[in-house]
Structure 1
Amino acid sequence: MKAIGKHLTVDMYGCSFEILDDMEYVKDAMMTAVREANMTLLNFSAHKFEPQGLTALALLAESHMSIHTYPELGYAAVDVFTCGDHSRPDKAVFILKKFLKPERTKTYHIKRGDFGSERDMKPKVKVSAGAIYRVRSTGAKVFRFLARAK
């Protein structure tokens, strides 16, 4: 079975305080990324925090894109999740990097809904033998103790 979606999470470090604290700039970056990555915007919502920082969310027909900024740390947490094959989350991340200008990034690619085979979809039962091991281990300690006592 094929994965349902692509999910990219990106930690962006070393961004400028001014960029990360500018609501209009971040919104423009996200709108450009949505357009260039062939995504369909359904709704955009954002909140500016005091004294600094913001959270912006683009609700997409394909899923979502979000940015949480921490200007005092020069850090932005970016999340791009898309379903289907026509959108390009990697292109969206590329555009966001151009706008936010991080010194370095850490990107994780996650396949969402990748069940693998039919067998992989069934819940796995975990059997623990911890209690039996502890009893056996305790018994061995008692025997060692008694052997030393003589």
Structure 2
Amino acid sequence: MVNLNQKLKLTRQCPTFQKGSVAHTTVSGRRMLQVSGKYRGISMTISHGKQVCIDYSNCDFVDQGRHGTWMLNLMQYAVKSAGVREVHAHVEEFDGTLSPTGFAAVVLLDESHVSAHCYYDKGILAIDAFTCGESDPNIIIDIIHKKLVESFENIKVVSKDEMLRFRQ
């Protein structure tokens, strides 16, 4: 957070800024200000986190001899490469007895989580990365995406969304 003197300085520099707060954030490796309040009549929102979700089709995990453990290892590699601290990791394989075949994997972070969910029979995979600190979840997603594209010849991105979390 910006200290009170910095906030007052910003308010003096922007006299039309009313009843707001100022904070630093890092977006794509660039340190930026996030502001809430009104500036020249425009409402602005501050957030304390970001979540990136990406959905894939044509993920032939079984045909490639890969399973949830492979995905969990990739997620852990991406987290470590992005410089984010892992707290815990777990993968659960589903054999079709109680749930459709596939897996759910999660890496808990001190800033939140990275998760992946796959249905083997449908060839679909959903991944999300949520950080509520200084780390950019896009870096984690980009590392995972690069390896998935290298590993699955016909993989297709169906959607990719980014949202601010903990809005104030």
Same-fold call, TM cutoff 0.5 = yes
Gapped regions of structure 1 (runs ≥ 5): 116-150
Deviations 1:67-100 (A, max 9, x none): 0011211111111100112x22111111111232
Instruction: Give how far 1:106 is off.
Output: 0.8
1:27 is matched with which residue? 72
> Aligned-residue CA RMSD in angstroms?
1.7
Give the distance between the partners of 2:157 and 2:49, measured in 1 at CA.
Answer: 26
Q: Aligned residue pairs: how many?
A: 114
Gapped regions of structure 2 (runs ≥ 5): 1-35, 37-45, 150-154
TM-score, normalised with respect to structure 2: 0.62
2:83 is matched with which residue? 38
- Among all aligned residue pairs of Structure 1 and Structure 2, give the percentage whose two residues are the same amino acid: 29
Q: Looking at CA atoms only, which structure, 1 or 2, has the larger radius of gyration?
A: 1
SS of alignment partner, residue 88 of structure 2 = strand
Instruction: Give how far 1:20 is off.
Output: 8.6
Contact 2:92 2:104 in 1 (8 A): yes
1:14 is matched with which residue? 58
1:106 is matched with which residue? 159
Deviations 1:18-51 (A, max 9, x none): 3595122112111111012221100001100004
1:79 is matched with which residue? 128
- Going by fraction, where is helix more abundant, 1 or 2? 1
More RCO (CA 8 Å, sep 6+) = 1
- Going by fraction, where is strand more abundant, 1 or 2? 2
Deviations 1:86-133 (A, max 9, x none): x22111111111232332231110100222xxxxxxxxxxxxxxxxxx
Query: For 2:111, which of 56, 62, 67 is the aligned residue?
Result: 62
Runs of 4 or more above 4 Å deviation: none
Q: Which amino acid aligns with 2:76?
A: M
Evaluate the alpha carbon distance shift between residue 8 and residue 72 of structure 1 in structure 2; reply closer, same or farther with a 3 A threshold.
same
Evaluate the alpha carbon distance shift between residue 8 and residue 32 of structure 1 in structure 2; reply closer, same or farther with a 3 A threshold.
same
